[in-house]
Amino acid sequence: MSKITAILIDDEFSALHGLLQKIKKLFPKIDILETFQKPEKAISFLEKKQPDLVFLDIEMPRMTGFELLGKLPNINFQVIFVTAYSEYALDALKKNAIDYVLKPVDDKELSLAIEKANKVISEKKETQANENLVRLLSETISKKDKLIVPTSKGMSFIPQDEVLHLEGDEGYTKIHLIDRSEILSSYNLGKFEKMLGTTFFKCHKSHIVNIAKVRSFENEGYVVLENEHRVPISKANRRVFLNLFN
């Protein structure tokens, strides 16, 4: 199991202490940051710092676990509900809880819930790590005028002056190169827009062109690039585009 952080929220001290001891015994690598009997204090903590995982009692006197989650502006953690009432199970799943366990807590059920949470947390961290790597590479390599394109085999580093046009298509991006080849990336157009240098212009919500490759402008609403490649330009962007050449 990877190192994950967690907090426990339950108004009953005995239940809170018992759960804490079980987690320490079964999963010693879980770093328990805090335990809370008062939901208000838990909310204050979660507004400032969010762990990977929250063990949350549903039925508490001042507010339910559902109400506690509803008071948070952002939820960037996984939830395991701990409850004595099985009828809450369906509601828990609808609230996007990773799982729930019934009181008294059974070691096997708790282990299964934590292992399920750990898998989701690990995948989330891996995705974030990959995105951070791409961002770092982008900041470094952009100084050398290269575009980073994640592929199924790894990453390609393409000189930006070899890029003719980028086209967004249902969350993917098709990159048209000057040699007439194309690369399809799972990154959306917005991600690439942040990587590109000042020679690129977003002429349409789904199209970014390399200004250096522009050969003509057609009044009917198209920019013509090298190799007679025609790209639509929105009415809202035409004046800005033409001003670039004045």
Domain residue spans in the chain? 5-134, 145-243
Per-residue pLDDT tens digits for 43-61: 999 999 989 999 999 888 8
Within the chain, residue ranges assigned H as helices are 13-26, 39-48, 65-70, 89-94, 107-141, 189-195, 235-243
Per-residue buried b or exposed e for 117-142, using 16+ beta carbons within 10 Å of the residue's own CB: bbeebeeeeeeeeeeeebeeebeebb
Query: CA-to-CA distance for 21 and 33, rounded, in angstroms?
Result: 14
Percentage of the chain beyond pLDDT 70 is 85
Question: Do 161 and 212 meet the contact criterion of CB atoms below 8 Å apart?
Answer: yes
Strands 207-210 and 163-169: antiparallel
Mean pLDDT confidence for 216-224: 91
Residue 66 banded pLDDT, cuts 50, 70, 90: confident
For the cut 50, the answer to whether the pLDDT of residue 143 exceeds it is no
Q: How far is CA 196 from CA 115, 139, 146, 236, 242, in A?
A: 41, 10, 8, 21, 20
User: Which helix (DSSP H) or strand (DSSP E) does residue 197 occupy?
Assistant: none
Q: At what angle do helices 13-26 and 107-141 cross, to 10 degrees?
A: 70
Question: From 3.40.720.10, 3.50.50.60, 3.40.50.2300, 3.90.1640.10, which CATH number describes the 5-134 domain?
Answer: 3.40.50.2300
pTM here is 0.52
Q: How high is the pLDDT of residue 119?
A: 86
Q: Measure the CA–CA gap between 41 and 47, rounded to whole angstroms.
A: 10
Say which CATH topology domain 145-243 has: OB fold (Dihydrolipoamide Acetyltransferase, E2P) (2.40.50)
User: Do 5-134 and 145-243 have matching folds?
Assistant: no
Q: Residue 245: its pLDDT value, please?
A: 75
What's the pLDDT tens digit per position in 84-103?
A: 766 655 565 555 566 778 88
- What burial class does residue 244 get, using C-beta atoms within 10 Å of its C-beta: 0-12 exposed, 13-18 middle, 19+ buried? exposed
